[in-house]
Structure 1
Amino acid sequence: MHRIDVVVPVRDAARFLPTFLASLDANSPEGCRYLVVDDASGDETPRVLADAARTRPHLEVLRTDRPRGAAGARNVALERLDARWVTFADVDDWSAPGHLAAMLERADELGADMVRTDHVRVVGHRRIPETAPAQRRGAVFAAREGIGGPDGQTLVDYPFLWAGVFDARLAARGLLTFDERLRTASDRPWFWRLHLAGTTCAVVPSPGYFYRRNPASGSLTENAGAATLDFLPAYEQVLDLADASGDAAHRVRAMYGACRIVAYHTGREERLPPALRRAMHARAALLLARGDDDTFAAALEHAPARARRLLAGLRRVGRRRTAGERAS
């Protein structure tokens, strides 16, 4: 058994591989294995990875015969897990030397089901430290505590797979599998499931992961298209999970998250062609129409002020639509 498996989905990313491989070489402690899944790339990615694997025994390259997306590629690697811990990386990012070893040391020491950490956001030449949103650090606590209240950012909405390590035994409970129908935002319900599953969590200060956030990275989040709208079914799942928890505070938190992400994407809707804009508004209206008025009012109170009128209007449209469907 390995000490840790690092899951990395890759598609048409040859231009990022030199930096990624340098980061891999600087973060390969004893017992580490990289499971890199080439998701049917059409560029030089397969050749570069094959060459790299010849001199790196801890690099295992898997390949899909058709594009399955980041969620599907991660699932391919998760089926091959054979480690105490698992973490994730994106091919266009990198880590400081020794980052993974430091994370493993704290994970072994604390023994929580997930150990989260800070990171550094990279925007062009800027380096912006980002702190994992948790008041308790260096101690183990019930992961449900990380869901938090109706405002601000909390751990459940810190959706960065690479910002921490996870107990690989969670895979046997079905908690590490990603929904392949979600081309983007599959990490949102993934984290909610983890936090609601009776797991434990810890947060440690280790800002050694550098997250490249810009359009040139090729991220589906940054490059508008039909996949962008997958945040809507992702938050349908989040609201379902919160409803199933039976906790009113969780329902408010989930609706608050839905409000924030709808506000974010409608605030940048000029990226989308007109047909996708209309589809986003229609589907967002149905998403925000869910739940009771008190839950929505509590969530809206903490939503971005500039978007509250829009969000309330979308809910009214959605409620009229659902009422009309029930009447017919």
Structure 2
Amino acid sequence: MNPRVSVIVAAYNSPAELDMLIASLDAQTLPQRDFEVYFVDDGSTDGTLARLNAIAKSRPNYRVESIPNSGWPGRPRNVALSQTDADWVFFADHDDYFFPDGLRAAIDFGDSVEADVVHPKETVHGWRTPGWDSWREQLSSLETWRAQDVRCITPHKLYRTAFLKRHGIVFPEGRIRLEDFSFNAEVWARTDRVAIFAQAPSTSG
């Protein structure tokens, strides 16, 4: 059976906060058998790759791949996206963490409303997350595009894998600043099935 979600993480010379991400994934209420964590190391020059391999050794739902340095998150994310068979993908950074019920609750909601994208509540230490106003109410589908929804262009969302692959939506590769803008612009242009999950926060960075 395919995993319900693949948490895709581009890694490069990962900071100490990587341990916080791993601990939060270990603590998920979604059973470990129902999700995979897919790290793609972008040619780290420190001990990150060995660190990731050591983490994955004791976690059967973890995958680690190494690619030559591309210098930006787009290529690592695309590599993982092309290889996963999970129902959903969630792009996380190596210094993020998930609230304990973050994956399960957002996925169950997305499945129940048959969304292509779930825009879950996100918190950020020290500043007001762009698009925070999006999470004032839970919506099964956006009827119109609102400024607050478009402003929050981070990739910290659930995307239905089949939807992305059907439309060939990938991240631009190379040193392209704010690659998330390009990715989400393609997403928004190809679906009207975007749901807002406001019930509880899913991630923090």
**Pair in the same fold by TM > 0.5:** yes
Report whether the alignment pairs 1:176 with 2:169: yes
What is the match of residue 24 of structure 1?
25
Contact 2:42 2:67 in 1 (8 A): yes
Match of 1:202 among 183, 195, 200: 195
Aligned residue among 165, 171, 179 for 1:186: 179
Instruction: Determine what percentage of the aligned residue pairs are the same residue.
Output: 25
Decide which structure has the larger Cα Rg and report it. 1
1:113 aligns with 2:116: yes
What is the one-letter code of the residue matched to 1:23? Answer: S
Q: Which shows bigger deviation, 39-48 or 65-74?
A: 65-74
Distance in 2 (alpha carbons) for counterparts of 1:175 and 1:207: 29
Partners of 2:18 and 2:139 lie apart in 1 by 33
**Cα distance in 2 for residues equivalent to 1:181 and 1:51:** 28
Given the alignment of the two structures, is residue 50 of structure 1 paired with residue 53 of structure 2, yes or no? yes
- C-alpha separation in 2, matches of 1:138 and 1:198: 15
What are the Cα deviations for residues 51-94 of structure 1, in whole angstroms up to 9, with x where unaligned? Answer: 11110011101111233420111111111120111111111111
Alpha carbons of structure 1 residues 197 and 56: separation in structure 2 relative to 1, 3 Å:
same
Match of 1:159 among 150, 153, 156: 153
Contact kept, 8 Å, 2:106 with 2:202, in 1: the verdict is no
> 1:158-195, CA deviations, whole angstroms, 9 ceiling, x for partnerless residues?
11211x21111123234430111343211112111111
Structure 2: 5+ residue stretches without partners? none
Distance 2:135 2:18 in 1: 33
Runs of 4+ residues over 3 Å off in structure 1 = 127-130
User: Which consecutive unaligned segments of at least 5 residues does structure 1 have?
Assistant: 212-328
The aligned residue for residue 96 of structure 2 is 93
2:141–2:192 contact (8 Å) kept in structure 1? no
Cα–Cα, structure 1 residues 21 and 134, in superposed 2: closer, same or farther, change >3 Å? Answer: closer
> Is 2:14 aligned against 1:13?
yes
1:70/1:183 contact within 8 Å kept: no
Q: Quick one: distance in 2 between partners of 1:139 and 1:178?
A: 26
Aligned CA distance change for structure 1 residues 174 and 68 (closer, same or farther; 3 Å): farther
Q: Distance in 2 between matches of 1:87 and 1:132?
A: 21
Greater share of residues in helix? 1
The normalised TM-score by structure 2 is 0.88
Q: How many angstroms does 1:107 deviate by?
A: 1.1
Query: TM-score by structure 1 length?
Result: 0.57
Q: CA deviation at 1:14?
A: 4.3
1:3–1:32 CA contact under 8 A, matched in 2? yes
1:2 maps to amino acid = P
Q: Counterpart of 1:235? A: none
Measured in 2, the distance between the counterparts of 1:190 and 1:181 equals 14
CA–CA distance in 2 between the matches of 1:95 and 1:79? 24
Structure number having the greater strand percentage: 2
- Count of paired positions: 200
Partner of 2:125, secondary structure, is strand
For 1:210, the aligned partner's letter is S
Q: Secondary structure at the match of 1:159?
A: coil
Output the CA distance in 1 between the equivalents of 2:58 and 2:8: 19
Bigger mean CA offset, 47-56 vs 62-71: 62-71
Higher mean C-alpha deviation, range 179-188 or range 88-97? 179-188
Q: Distance in 2 between matches of 1:210 and 1:187?
A: 17
5 Å-filtered alignment, 1:69-80, equals 69-80=72-83
Contact 2:12 2:48 in 1 (8 A): yes
Q: Distance in 1 between matches of 2:80 and 2:90?
A: 11
SS in 1 for 2:158: strand
